[in-house]
Amino acid sequence: MTTEQVAATINPWAVAQQQFDLAAEHLKLDPGIRQVLREPRRALTVTFPVKMDDGTVRVFTGYRVQHNLGRGPAKGGIRYHQDVSIDEVKALAMWMTWKCAVVGIPYGGGKGGVIVDPKKLSLKELEALTRRYTTEISVLIGPERDIPAPDVNTTPQIMAWMMDTYSMHAGYTVPGVVTGKPISLGGSEGRNEATARGCVYTVVAAAKHLGVDLTKTTAAVQGFGNAGSIAARLMRDEGSTVVAVSDTQGGIHKPTGLDIEKVLAWKQEHGTVVGFPGSTKITNGELLELDVDILIPAAYENQITAANAKNVKAKIIAEAANGPTTPEADEILAKKGVFMIPDILANAGGVTVSYFEWVQDLNRDHWSETVVNAKLKEIMDRSFGEVLAMSLLEEVNMRTAAYLVAVKRVADTTALRGLYP
């Protein structure tokens, strides 16, 4: 089976619960709190009609899940993809809870999605779908309740439509209802690069801890969308030689290093990185098994599994994507001595700068990119240090350590707040 076929057979919600159970067991969590944190607080399913350009009506299904609200409003992206499922959204919402907790920002976890291939919609149809979906989930969202953001196949323009729709219902402009907006509508400087920048900050910290000189390393990036393409550029800026990148069509490999700007220009023109002059075509699965020092999975869930983990040669893995490694693969990689920077830490830069955007919106303020990046670096470096310290103290791998830090923070909050009524 291909990497994609294996991924499709694994239930992300089962993976998320398994990861939580490992941490809960280690922390000896109170059984009641464990039950509370193991399930989402709310899961909303909506079906809604959209009038298409040809006059026909199509009915779409969407979701919004709030996993936990103990530490603050729910926070999490909206994805538009034909394979969205309720279990995927529940898993992503739970991961958001831990992600916000591991970097210490006052949010709970949420996530949303619509089952749709947005590439098959016109701009007008995409706007109509977005506005209707926003209306349907408006019973849950709000700047003090649940704040959506961009995710797979959603953009600052889509966030602008969501903000406008919510504001029209409220009767006044509410910029803080979503993050990841265009800067002219209350978006934050540095938000577009935040996920990748935060990820690369953790790679730099890991290299320092391991005594690795980044200028002598090679890197491969799976997924050449927003996070992956920017991560590739930032890794290059740190002195690493990026030898392979990929997208949904496949990957490209050049042992002497790729010119990232030229690859970006090629993708813009051809819609894929495949065919880039001077490179060899490889599959997404082959990219994961290349002989490189650093691997950045920046695509989808369940890419590194029990089936291919033994063939992974990278010494450092930084998960820019959510859930790219299964628990079984984690065990194999840990035994091989791979230094894993888990998703809830590695890609928390996006939600951290989303938090900065929300704070700026609530205060009607605007920070410079220099201020945003400095604050982001401070939080990512501190969080990496806390997770590393937990890993060394408890003699566990970095993923388990990140979960121990995050789950303990959420569990402590839950215990302090108590149960209502």
CA torsion 269→271→277→283, rounded to 10°? 170
Q: How far is CA 21 from each of CA 26, 39, 226, 321, 402, rounded to the nearest angstrom?
A: 8, 12, 32, 21, 13
How many CB atoms within 10 Å of residue 21? 15
Q: Which residue is catalytic, options 90, 111, 267, 315? A: 111
- Chain-centre distance of CA 292, in angstroms? 23
How many CB atoms within 10 Å of residue 341? 26
Would you state the structure tokens that stand for residue 233, as one six-digit string?
């550029």
Peptide bond between residue 421 and the one before it cis (omega within 30 degrees of 0): yes
Collapsed DSSP state (helix, strand, coil) of residue 297:
strand
Contact 2, 307 (CB under 8 A): no
- In 3-state terms, the chain is what percent helix, strand and coil (to 5)? 50, 20, 30
Q: Measured between alpha carbons, how far is 316 from 293 in angstroms, rounded to an integer?
A: 6
Would you state the structure tokens that stand for residue 243, as one six-digit string?
């030898």
Main-chain dihedrals φ then ψ at residue 169, nearest 5 degrees: -70, -35
- Chain-centre distance of CA 230, in angstroms? 14
How many CB atoms within 10 Å of residue 393? 10
Q: Measured between alpha carbons, how far is 138 from 383 in angstroms, rounded to an integer?
A: 33
Known catalytic membership, residue 262: no
Contact 105, 146 (CB under 8 A): no
Q: What is the DSSP string of 303-369?
A: -B-TTTGGG---SEEE--SSS-B-HHHHHHHHHTT-EEE-HHHHTTHHHHHHHHHHHHHHTT----H
Length of the chain: 421
Would you state the structure tokens that stand for residue 5, as one six-digit string?
């076929």
Residues taking part in catalysis: 111
